[in-house]
Amino acid sequence: MSILKTIHSPADLKRLKPAQFPKLCQELREQIIGAVSSVGGHLASNLGVVELTVALHYLMDTPQDKIVWDTSNQAYAHKLLTGRREQFHTLRQYGGLSGFCKREESVYDTFNAGHAGTGVSAAYGMVEAREQQGLKHKVVCVVGDGAMTAGMTLEGLHHAGGLGKDFVVILNDNQMSISKNVGAISSYLNRTFTGDFYTKMREETGQLLRKIPHIGYDVEKLARRAEELAKGAILPGLLFEELGFRYAGPIDGHNFEHLLPTLENVLKMRGPVLLHVITKKGLGYEPAEKNPVWFHACPPFVRETGAPAKKAARPSYTQIAIESLIQAARDDKRVVAITAAMCEGTGLNAFEKEFPDRLYDVGIAEQHAVTFAAGLAAQGMRPVVAMYATFLQRAYDQVVHDVATQNLPVTFCIDRGGLVAEDGTTHHGAFDYAYLRHMPNMVVMAPKDENELQHMLKTGLQYEGPASIRYPRGVSLGVPMDREQKELPIGKGELLRDGTDVAIIAIGVSVWPAVKAAEQLSHEGLSTAVINARFVKPLDQELIVNIAKRVRYVVTVEEGCKMGGFGSAVLEALSEAGVTVKTKVIGLPDWYIEQGPQDLLRERYGLTTDGIYRSVKELVTKSPIASHEPELFSAAVDHLPHGDEQGS
């Protein structure tokens, strides 16, 4: 009989015997592998944290006790144990379970997260809220070893360690092999160091030593230092001890005989404690164990072999961008590339193969990546920062303060711009047009296809200042590629088709749907022009204003937020030129976009050919102009057809 099917909440878990846990873990892994093979997702990290998840919910009283999962892409077993097993097949699907923790989804999800490094700070905020409210529950933060490279994690540890409140941080270390000190001796030492007797003896000895006149505090410090040295000879915890945390570990995160008693002791300890747990990525699924990097965030795959379920017929925009970067690096030795722990995701592993000494992976440290690039640029190099749009948000001030104010030639390759499908709310690249276009000196570009992408990369590298090139997730269009990269004139768009009734001004991946919509409109008697803006900043005001003066309607299209984005830039240009024309901005609304396939979301928010066509027809139908009287300038930013309420 299935054990997992009897678990509807952690209360059911507590009725099991620890001897049943290995079978439960096997069932959890089977469920996770089955779901991810069908829909894609974060597999390797989730398979590695199963035993730890079971142990936490068994020993803690959730949801009264709080578990914060840093990044939360390793919380699949957590979801299965907290009443979401029957919905688990909807993972990462439109209208289904999120691939991350989501407070709106369950009371067991204490904090929403999709970016690494936020967990310790959020969890310690919960600790202080508990203290302020006079409550007694436990707060535990599970943080991966990768997130330890995030400056925010260290800031949180420093703060929490200095204030000394009861708080447990579990370092889930899945990058190390299980070494000798994660065996019986280490397990015995950790049970000893975290046990009630040892903890009580340590505190009472400290109190006794402090009472010795004149020398008590010095003797206590000497005793503590001796203890640290003794532990440091066996256990790698001095860094955390210096930050104010009691350190325990490392222990085998897959061995319940070690994990349960040590974790039970740690949960009883007073003050800040860090438990170091060693786990293996992909445990229980051989392909993921052999290739944990690919299975970190993978597409659907064939369960029997681990091979991708289908191969793309064309290269991705990411591949085109990095191939173009490699060619540029061959021609210019000043070109170097920087990533923040996303070498494979941004395609820079291909760059690294050819230029291993010119690729810098700085870890999950986006702020450092940008300022590091600024330092390189200040000394004559041509750094390229390749980063997802959602992650560049984390380095906003560094882009402003360290790059743009000094007008340094740093090129930002902004991957995953726009809608990114199943990763959902925390990962959609909705805001980069808006948060970059208002920075002085910044050039903001987006190509209509892969051929224009290669030219934009060359343009950015030749520009004597900061430049960004934004491209989407997914396969390219398959357009013919020019043999050589060429530099585009900064701030110049292109008129793809002329017209006298309507002008559609589009940017990035929205350009070709706009062209197709214009063809349909023209067949119906509405002469429709299409401008490929190419540049959000500097905007080609001359081209846009000249076209706007001779049409009756202007529609802008972007796969980004309408508020402050590309459409806003066009409206500002028309206002400055004194052009009064009926307008409509098509883009993403003022709420966080849900998860779902890119095509479905584009249809939902009117960004397809049909959606653009309908929006233009709606604008024309609602705007009688037979009198030819001057129209008031307006930006129609009402909801598109099929839009839901805010917060959907």
pLDDT of residue 622: 84
pLDDT of residue 150: 86
- CA distance to 6, 40, 88, 98, 600, per residue, from 83 (Å): 10, 21, 10, 14, 28
- CA distance to 83, 90, 570, per residue, from 97 (Å): 12, 6, 38
pLDDT at 111 over 50: yes
The secondary structure element, H or E, covering residue 273 is: strand 272-278
Residue 481 lies in a domain: no
Residue 436 lies in a domain: yes
The sign of the torsion formed by the CA atoms of 511, 517, 523, 527 equals: negative
Looking at the structure, tell me whether residues 154 and 190 fall in a common domain: yes
Looking at the structure, tell me whether residues 217 and 78 fall in a common domain: yes
**Which backbone phi and psi does 498 adopt, to 5 degrees?**
-100, 165
Q: Given pLDDT bands bounded at 50, 70 and 90, which one contains residue 641? A: very low
Looking at the structure, tell me whether residues 609 and 531 fall in a common domain: yes
3-state secondary structure of 73: coil
Mean pLDDT of 12-34: 96
> Which residue among 437, 470, 503 closes a domain?
470
Q: Exposed, middle or buried by CB within 10 Å (0-12, 13-18, 19+), for 546?
A: middle
Model pLDDT for residues 72-105, shown as the tens digit of each residue:
999 999 999 999 999 999 999 999 999 999 999 9
617 catalytic residue (yes or no):
no
Model pLDDT for residues 490-530, shown as the tens digit of each residue:
999 999 999 999 999 999 999 999 999 999 999 999 999 99
Residue 642 lies in a domain: no
Looking at the structure, tell me whether residues 275 and 331 fall in a common domain: no
Looking at the structure, tell me whether residues 349 and 426 fall in a common domain: yes
Residue 537 lies in a domain: yes
For 320, the token pair is: 């085109």
Could you say which of 51, 366, 422, 559 is catalytic?
366
User: Considering the chain, what is the average pLDDT of its residues?
Assistant: 89
Name the residue among 418, 420, 422 with its Cα closest to residue 431: 418
- Return d(Cα 262, Cα 193) in angstroms, integer: 9
Domain count, the chain: 3
Please name the residues in contact with 133: beta carbons below 8 A apart, sequence gap of 6 or more. Answer: none
Model pLDDT for residues 333-370, shown as the tens digit of each residue:
999 999 998 999 999 999 999 999 999 999 889 999 99
For 591, the token pair is: 């709420």
Instruction: Please report, for the domain that includes residue 543, its CATH number.
Output: 3.40.50.920
Looking at the structure, tell me whether residues 101 and 51 fall in a common domain: yes
> Which residue among 423, 438, 470 closes a domain?
470
Phi/psi-derived region of residue 308, left when phi > 0, alpha when psi is between -120 and 50, beta in every other case: beta
Residue 305 lies in a domain: no
3-state secondary structure of 548: helix
Looking at the structure, tell me whether residues 546 and 466 fall in a common domain: no
- Return d(Cα 474, Cα 421) in angstroms, integer: 10
Is-contact 447 417, C-beta < 8 A? no
pLDDT at 146 over 90: no
pLDDT of residue 243: 87
Could you say which of 394, 448, 470, 582 is catalytic?
394
Model pLDDT for residues 154-175, shown as the tens digit of each residue:
999 999 999 999 999 999 988 6
Looking at the structure, tell me whether residues 426 and 537 fall in a common domain: no
Looking at the structure, tell me whether residues 462 and 356 fall in a common domain: yes
Looking at the structure, tell me whether residues 397 and 452 fall in a common domain: yes
Looking at the structure, tell me whether residues 266 and 336 fall in a common domain: no
Residue, of 219 and 94, whose pLDDT is higher: 94
pLDDT at 177 over 90: no
Q: If you ran DSSP here, which 8-state letter would residue 485 be given?
A: -
Model pLDDT for residues 383-412, shown as the tens digit of each residue:
999 999 999 999 999 999 999 999 999 999
Annotate 555-579 with b (16+ C-beta within 10 A) or e (fewer). Answer: bbbbbbbbbebbbbbbbebbeeeeb
- For the chain, the residue count is 648
Residue 303 lies in a domain: no
Could you list the residue range(s) of the whole structural domain that residue 269 is in? 4-289
Mean pLDDT of 317-327: 97
Name the least confident of 6-10, 226-230, 318-322.
Answer: 226-230
Is-contact 372 340, C-beta < 8 A? no
Model pLDDT for residues 585-638, shown as the tens digit of each residue:
999 999 999 999 999 999 999 999 999 999 999 999 986 543 333 333 333 333
Sheet (strand 443-445) strand order: 359-361, 335-339, 382-388, 411-415, 467-470, 443-445, 535-537
Residue 476 lies in a domain: no
Looking at the structure, tell me whether residues 46 and 97 fall in a common domain: yes
281 catalytic residue (yes or no):
yes
pLDDT at 242 over 70: yes
Could you say which of 130, 138, 281, 584 is catalytic?
281
- Quick check: bond before 641 cis, omega within 30? no
Instruction: Please report, for the domain that includes residue 334, its CATH number.
Output: 3.40.50.970
pLDDT of residue 202: 63
Model pLDDT for residues 412-462, shown as the tens digit of each residue:
999 999 999 899 999 999 999 999 999 999 999 999 999 999 999 999 999
394 catalytic residue (yes or no):
yes
Residue 482 lies in a domain: no
pLDDT at 643 over 60: no
pLDDT of residue 637: 33
